[in-house]
Amino acid sequence: MSETSLSALSSESRRFDPPAGLAAAANVTADAYKHAAEDRSGFWAEQAGRLTWERPWDTVLDWQPPFATWFGGGRLNVSVNCLDRHVEAGLGDRVAYHWVGEPQEDRRTITYAELLAEVSKAAHALTELGVEAGDRVCIYLPMIPEAAIAMLACARIGAAHSVVFGGFSAQALIDRITDADAKLVITSDGGYRRGAPSALKPAVDEAVAQCPSVQNVLVVRRTGQDVAWGAKDLWWHDLVDHQPSTHSPEAFDAEQPLFLLYTSGTTGKPKGILHTSGGYLTQVAWTHWAVFDLKPETDVYWCTADVGWVTGHSYTVYGPLANAATSVLYEGTPDAGGKDRWWSIVEEFKVSILYTAPTAIRTFMKWGDELPRGRDLSSLRVLGSVGEPINPEAWMWYREVIGGGRCPIVDTWWQTETGAMMIAPLPGVTSCKPGSAMGPLPGISVDVVDHDGHGVGETGGGYLTLDEPWPAMLRGIWNDEQRFRDTYWSKFAGRYFAGDGAKWDENHVLWLLGRVDDVMNISGHRISTTEVESALVSHPSVAEAAVVGAADDTTGQAIVAFVTLTAAATAQDVGEPLLKDLRDHVAKEIGPIAKPKQIVIAPELPKTRSGKIMRRLLVDIAERRELGDVTTLADPTVVSAINDTMGAAVDGR
Ligand code: WTA
């Protein structure tokens, strides 16, 4: 983030108090901060009491940095907490999901009783396929109810799921299946994208051919498109539908692995972030209830995140279901069937809590106020934001145009690794500044530190660290303890380093300043520069690649790649076809989401005398700012050569 935006942030003086009515009836009051600060583990034990345990825990927390055991000795079943106990409490007829397919008329309403029956059948089916507690199951599905059903069925039998975002490529799938040693893949023929069926199964077929660990592929029929059929393939409707609709689940240890979710790090290989059961569910359930002020009897909640990302895990599936909430689940893109599709969904289902990402908000700003203004959004009462810093301008637009000036906005900072929200206002308590996530939630402790790990005090900027363990914290990186220690716990001894910069302003209000490492944030999704660089270099025409994230009005950051070509490729007449080929190659290696927005063919990359690529400089070039210090640059003429070739770059995804 630039110097000017830093100073602009610290001058933000607007404040928005909680609406009086909401504050008066709020689930959580200011006392929670004091109470949690006095007895952090007591506070979390109280929140764990929101869940149903088959056996109570012996100890709340055993902390052997960097390894935590939360609620040790306790036993529970996550799916029972999300389903059975609500049905037993008489809530079987409550809607769990209003599912909205991408095609206009596609609807499915699923009550808690129905969801329990579906999950029970799927659990029997997994068992029939030989999936056991402790195994890993890969889920590669569009946003259809079976995605949540499959996740809960895994949880029910104690298997860990590894959901892979449907936009990832076969190669990404191979890497994730192989690392997790997954036994089963659950997928579909395809899903709908912008009005047309888009295939999913071919990527699975390609992956399974290279992944001997996979014994079966369970295929949901969604689009009805033709699919190739192999010996390991089974239709979901053939196997699951005839299973018994009741299932007696076993309780598992609080630390039973619940899921792996792969996320980008600063080196090429994605990391399998491991989450477990009791602590995770405690924190997602509590934060979902507290931060959205959820009233499960009356609210209709909609988290727009795909289940392929952590937000979809914690706040589309586990948090809302643990709280017996009614949610909307939407399959499509924001513009499918019209650019006011989201607002028509809010109107139709009377959505009262909306949780989405700044990149979407900025897109809607561009599309104009008329679309949301043409719909009745008066049901909304709380708005949430996640995934990247929300700029004050977008925050104000969200508040005024979507929230009608009456809804508090909760900007929530957290990560795949934290599992649940960490920094956020409480809607009935906090007087919010536009663009700020305000401060740590009750029970959470953060410390902004300087280079040497010293706290910066009440005001000032530095590195964001978490200096106390929290229940939903990652328990490790799958199969790689050393990387877990190195990545998160070695920069500042004994504390978790999140990779983000942060700053306390003059009112001791916290501002998140984005990543300080080589991880880009594209539309709220983390992609590492190295990952894209490796993909580019694996193309036969590329000699060297340097990838940076450049500021982008809509997506937060955009991927800009600088590449040098091999002598053979240089000798040929390159031009547009090669650029297209490179972008397609990245899409094939990682997924369309990682396609560079711009590729610059450069004669050379700017390097320091020690041979390190000067990324800062490339960011400046990509953003066309005045150049920073180039005195350490080995060959300063490289910069002007790159600037000259910027004209030859292609734009657009
Ligand atoms: C960024 C998404 C500012 C941050 C839940 C973090 C945010 C990364 C915010 C994690 C926010 C997420 N304000 N930045 N409210 N929320 N981030 O793992 O850089 O996909 O480290 O988890 O997103 O991304 P992840």
Strand (E) or helix (H) holding 642 = helix 637-645
Asked if residue 331 has its Cβ within 6 Å of ligand 1, the reply is: no
Asked if residue 308 has its Cβ within 6 Å of ligand 1, the reply is: no
What is the pTM assigned to this prediction? 0.91
Strand 300-303 relative to strand 353-356: parallel, antiparallel, unpaired? parallel
Query: If pLDDT is split at 50, 70 and 90, which confidence band does 639 have?
Result: confident
pLDDT of residue 627: 63
Bridge partner residues of 160 (DSSP): 136
Residue with tokens 């929200």: 421
Express each pLDDT in 269-281 by its tens digit: 889 999 999 999 9
Q: Which of 219-228, 267-276, 383-392, 451-460 has the lowest mean pLDDT?
A: 267-276
Express each pLDDT in 408-439 by its tens digit: 999 999 999 999 999 999 999 999 999 999 99
Name the most confidently modeled range: 156-165, 263-272, 544-553. 156-165
Residue 153 predicted with pLDDT over 90: yes
Q: Which of 313-317, 323-327, 356-360, 516-520 has the lowest mean pLDDT?
A: 516-520
- What φ, ψ does residue 541 adopt, rounded to 5°? -90, -10
Asked if residue 271 has its Cβ within 6 Å of ligand 1, the reply is: no
539-648 has which fold? GMP Synthetase; Chain A, domain 3 (3.30.300)
pLDDT of residue 624: 79
Nearest CA to ligand 1 atom 8: 415
Residue 40 predicted with pLDDT over 50: yes
How far apart CA 467 and CA 44 sit, in angstroms, is 16
pLDDT of residue 652: 34
pLDDT of residue 647: 52
* Residue of 414, 477, 487, 510 to test ligand 1 pocket, by largest number of atoms within 8 Å of CB: 414
Average pLDDT, the chain: 93
For the CA of 512, the closest atom of ligand 1 is 3
pLDDT of residue 645: 67
pLDDT of residue 93: 98
pLDDT of residue 9: 52
How far apart CA 585 and CA 581 sit, in angstroms, is 6
Nearest CA to ligand 1 atom 15: 413
pLDDT of residue 517: 85
Residue 1 predicted with pLDDT over 60: no
Closest CA to 281 of 145, 83, 120, 102: 83
Helix (H, G, I), strand (E, B) or coil at 233: strand
Q: At a CB cut-off of 8 Å and minimum separation 6, what does 519 contact?
A: 264, 265, 266, 499, 526, 527, 528, 529
CA dihedral 460, 461, 464, 467 (to 10 degrees): -30
∠ CA 78-83-86, rounded to 5°? 120
Query: If pLDDT is split at 50, 70 and 90, which confidence band does 7 have?
Result: very low
pLDDT of residue 633: 62
In single-letter form, the type of residue at position 315 comes to Y
SS (H, E, C) 483-528: HHHHHHHCCCCCCEEEEEEEEECCCCCEEEEEECCCEEEECCEEEE
Query: If pLDDT is split at 50, 70 and 90, which confidence band does 653 have?
Result: very low
- What CA–CA distances, in Å, run from 456 to 249, 284, 447, 511? 49, 30, 8, 14
Residue with tokens 């959580």: 28
Express each pLDDT in 65-123 by its tens digit: 999 999 999 999 999 999 999 999 999 999 999 999 999 999 999 999 999 999 999 99
pLDDT of residue 634: 65
